[in-house]
């Protein structure tokens, strides 16, 4: 049961994390692109990404919370690394 709860929470957090990467102003500026998400939508994405983890904690499933926490960190790292690789490919 714990693994299913953690995977569900991770899936729900994946969408806002990826949207945060897409609209990252610093990454877009470094890649020579214009725009980027404003501060208010970015803070809403952060809140949306954290809600599933808080739900795991409030349900009292500490193992699911820890799995969600590690998985979300790994997902954020992988998304940031893939967006950097794509922006560097365009510069050549």
Q: Cα separation of 12 and 23, whole Å?
A: 18
pLDDT in tens, 43-63: 898 899 999 999 999 999 999
pLDDT in tens, 7-44: 999 999 999 998 888 776 666 666 666 665 566 778 89
Q: Cα separation of 33 and 17, whole Å?
A: 20
From the number of C-beta atoms within 10 Å of its C-beta (0-12, 13-18, 19+), residue 23 rates as middle
Q: Cα separation of 13 and 1, whole Å?
A: 18
Q: Cα separation of 14 and 1, whole Å?
A: 20
């Amino acid at each position: 049961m714990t693994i299913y709860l953690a995977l569900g929470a991770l899936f729900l957090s994946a969408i806002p994390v990826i949207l945060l990467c897409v609209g990252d102003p610093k990454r877009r500026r470094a890649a020579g692109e214009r725009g980027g998400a404003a501060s208010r939508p970015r803070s809403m994405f952060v809140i949306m990404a954290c809600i599933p983890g808080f739900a795991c904690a409030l349900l009292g499933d500490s193992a699911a919370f820890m799995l969600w926490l590690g998985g979300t960190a790994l997902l954020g790292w992988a998304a940031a690394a893939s967006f950097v690789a794509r922006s560097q490919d365009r510069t050549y």
